[in-house]
Amino acid sequence: MIRILFVCHGNICRSPMAEYVMKDMVHKRGIEGRFEIASAATSREEIANPVYPPARRMLSKHGIDCCGHHARQMTRGDYDRYDYIIGMDRENLRNICRIAGSDPMGKVSLLLDHTARSGQEVADPWYTGNFEETWQDVWDGCTGLLAEMEG
């Protein structure tokens, strides 16, 4: 079982988009049984809130359902549970390592590190309002991450 945790600040836009995109990708390949995929926040600001409506609409536009998602905060125990902990931006990475204590096993990376755009951050639509750009970043990152795992 490969366990992946996607993480952003509030767990209502980028990380749930990545969670549900990746779940859709592995489902379409018929390999969902090999994966546990989830998402979490580094903050407590949005705990228990659903996916932000524009993010939900973007997923729906691509035929992906995120119904039932509720934001949760990452815990120290998540570091031990998950094989990959994928942040959306550098601030997420700092906060992930703060929550986990450090990253001694090298589990933490940026989503776009799994693409030709390594080192770049997933656009935050909370500030940009551009959910299409975020969708493309998430799609590219999940595609690259899955290709690494399959290859």
To the query of whether residue 34 is one of the catalytic residues in this protein, the response is: no
Domains in the chain (CATH in brackets) are 2-150 (3.40.50.2300)
Q: Please report, in angstroms and rounded to a whole number, the separation of the first and last CA atoms in the chain.
A: 16
Residues of the chain falling short of pLDDT 50 = none
- pLDDT tens digit sequence for 110-131: 999 999 999 999 999 989 999 9
To the query of whether residue 65 is one of the catalytic residues in this protein, the response is: no
Cβ 128 vs Cβ 48: under 8 Å: no
Cβ neighbours around 106 below 10 Å, total = 6
Q: Alpha helices of 48-130 — where are they, by DSSP H?
A: 53-61, 76-81, 90-100, 125-128
To the query of whether residue 124 is one of the catalytic residues in this protein, the response is: yes
Q: Which pLDDT belongs to residue 91?
A: 97
Quickly tell me which residue has 């570091």 as its tokens: 79
